[in-house]
Chain A
Amino acid sequence: MRNSLQFIKDQKDFHFLTFQLVVGGKVLSMIINPLMWMITVSYFVFRSTLGEFIESFYPAPVLYMAVISLFLGNFLYMYYYAIGCAKRGHDELIKYTVFVPLYWLAMSFAAWKAIYQIFHKPHYWPKTKHGYHLSNQKAINHAESIIGRGLTDIKLKK
């Protein structure tokens, strides 16, 4: 995407568009997410004053899609995590999937922070600190049993 024209040339058919929707759309949805929640909450809390104004943005076809996305979409997205946990045998984690919307909130916060940083610290890269799990001997044993040899970078835990 640094060289968009070349990227378009390299792709066939609608791959460019698909890429934008899948990768860019995901980031965009994180940015839009808080706004949508604000509108939803405002609609119910301030229905008598703001209700009609908000309704004017939702003609019938848009309203149906929006309501289905709000309830069924959000639920299914959350439920996929639950099914994923069950399929992988992480039954103890299933109950925590109900908190997935909070994770989305955190993702939205990160997205807005990134936008802020584009303007104020464009060359700053808040690198993720890895290796916290190495403070847990059980995790080390598990990793070593998978790769079949000892970990080399145990130092990180200090």
Chain B
Amino acid sequence: MLLNKFTSWFERHLLSIILISSLVISLVSFFYYLQLDLITAYGDSRGHLNIARRVVDSVTPGAAQFGGYWMPFLHVLMLPTIWNDFFWQTGISGSIPNMISYVISVVFIYKLVYLISKNKFSAFIASIIVMLNLNLIYMQATPMTESLFIATLILTVYFLYKWIEEKHVPDLILSALFLALCSINRYESWSTVLASSVLLIINWIHSRFSKKAEGAFVLFSMVAWLGIFGWLAWGAIIFGDPLEFMHNELSAGNQTKVAYAEVKPVGEGNLVEAVLTNFFSLKHTSGMILTALTGLGLAVYLVRRFKKIFHIKTLAIFLFLTPFMFEVLTVYVGNVPVEVPELSRLNYPSNYFNIRYALYSLPAIAFFVAVMSRKKLIQVFILCLVLLNYFLLLPYGSNKIVTLNDAGAQPATPEVKKSLEWLKNNYDGGLILSSTGGNDKHMFDTGIHQKEYITEGAYKIWDAAMQDPAKYAQWILISDKNKRDNAYRNIDKFKLKNDYKVMNENDEFMILRAKD
């Protein structure tokens, strides 16, 4: 009797319980990682914070500071708080949108699975899979783009499916809008944009070229492609090159060329290896049991929907698989390498380099595992397996949270520490000339305001400072070892020697001050 009452209460309040649980997990994990000083452990997280900060705190503040290689959605969301030193230096500015995204992901994967299966237990399993993933829990506390990507992807599919079920035009537009937002966050989503348009074309053909399906395709695609065309237009306006994100020397492709100059990245030109790399990434980020269950769930889904394989209801879910396919492609092309211990040849920069990208498949994992069965007994068994899977991933003994491991794999070298400590203690005002390429740690950890730096983003001032640095900069932070240091490559070396004296020097960095 009492058990029945509790079960009934639990079912009625399930969504609220899930919402509150995810909120608690998000907050507790955030404060946990904050006190361990791990919020900004990823080098890229400091880069994201600095980019957003430079929009409001720079020699030349403004939207142009969003730059041309990392897309701006997360940076835009940071703007309400990034102006504040506390929010910038702790990284909270970037954590807030990601924590909200995490909660949205958990809630909306529940709503999506319930919408499709009309089964609360299945929806509950899906939300547990997203909620308890330790790698996502870490990433949502950081100023990185993963959590935001997952939330916008889930929202895209949720509203698309809602439109399929209820045929309300605003749902279709909302789906396209979230996809457009997703597409100005990470390049992986560009494959989802393409796939979604193809999906609606198939739907149009399947409906025997009905005007309704044709209208839906146009209405959806007009918004969904907005982010991509907007980003290309941005490149053309600010840099005079719509493909700036590919040509920029800090782009993923160009950075890979530098980092993998000696050894070919794993999976490049080898499709089997590329697939295996991504398979092992899934295993490390979500666990072996869940990875195996996903394969099984996908097979069950395909068999169950075989007769309706080209139906939009079947295909809409495949949008969750597009990031995985994109990752396989980029590993195969050698553009964005991923390292897994099973295949790594180089141990560079870590055995788990870029392994976080496998988290983009978490919505697919949650969906295919959750809808595998409607039988209560099997569902309880699946839930137990999910819990066991995450229990086995807990960080004890040789176990580790792989994303955290990747984040900490590139600790600051003693040289970086020494030079940034020196700068922090001896800086007494005046502009500092420094390239953003590889110097984000200095620019972040010293806490010196970004308006004191002349970087590549200062455009004309930067160009002029390269010719006559003493006219603009009191200080210069430079590295002759760092291949991405534009200041060292382009500065007038004669004037550098004549007009500046070396204040601090080690094997990697040199800090110079203008002669009086």
Residue positions of A touching B, CB distance < 8 A? 44, 47, 60, 64, 67, 71, 75, 78-79, 82-83, 85-87, 91-92, 94-95, 97-98
Contact = CB atoms under 8 A, between A and B. Distances in A.
B211 interface: yes
B219 interface: yes
Q: Chain A interface mostly helix, strand, loop or mixed?
A: helix
Interface in B232-266: 233, 236-237, 240
B223 A79 contact: yes
A78 B214 CA distance: 17
Contacts of B62: 60
Interface in B218-232: 218-219, 222-223, 226, 230
Given A60-B62, A75-B226, A91 B169 contact: no
Bin chain B's interface residue count. Answer: 10 to 19
16 contacts: A60-B62, A71-B233, A78-B222, A82-B222, A83-B169, A83-B173, A83-B219, A91-B212, A91-B214, A91-B215, A92-B215, A94-B214, A94-B218, A95-B215, A95-B218, A98-B222
A86 B173 CA distance: 11
A71 B219 contact: no
B63 A86 contact: no
A52 B454 CA distance: 22
Contacts of B173: 83
Given A82-B219, A94-B218, A95-B214, 13 more contacts: A44-B236, A64-B63, A71-B233, A79-B223, A83-B169, A83-B219, A86-B169, A91-B211, A91-B214, A92-B215, A94-B215, A94-B219, A98-B222
A92 B214 contact: yes
Interface string B40-60: 000000000000000000000
A43 B222 CA distance: 25
Contacts of B230: 71
A86 B219 contact: yes
A57 to B, nearest CB: 15
Contacts of B212: 91
A97 B221 CA distance: 13
Nearest to B223: A79
A82 to B, nearest CB: 6
Nearest to B173: A83
Interface string B259-281: 00000000000000000000000
A86 B223 CA distance: 14
A79 B170 CA distance: 13
A90 to B, nearest CB: 8
The 7 closest A-B pairs by CB, nearest first: A91-B215, A94-B215, A91-B211, A92-B211, A94-B218, A95-B218, A86-B169
Contact of A86 (B215, B233, B236, B237): B215
A83 B219 CA distance: 8
A66 to B, nearest CB: 11
A119 to B, nearest CB: 39
Most buried by A among B173, B230, B237: B237
A83 B172 CA distance: 11
A3 B236 CA distance: 49
A121 B66 CA distance: 53
Contacts of A87: 169
B205 to A, nearest CB: 16
B229 to A, nearest CB: 9
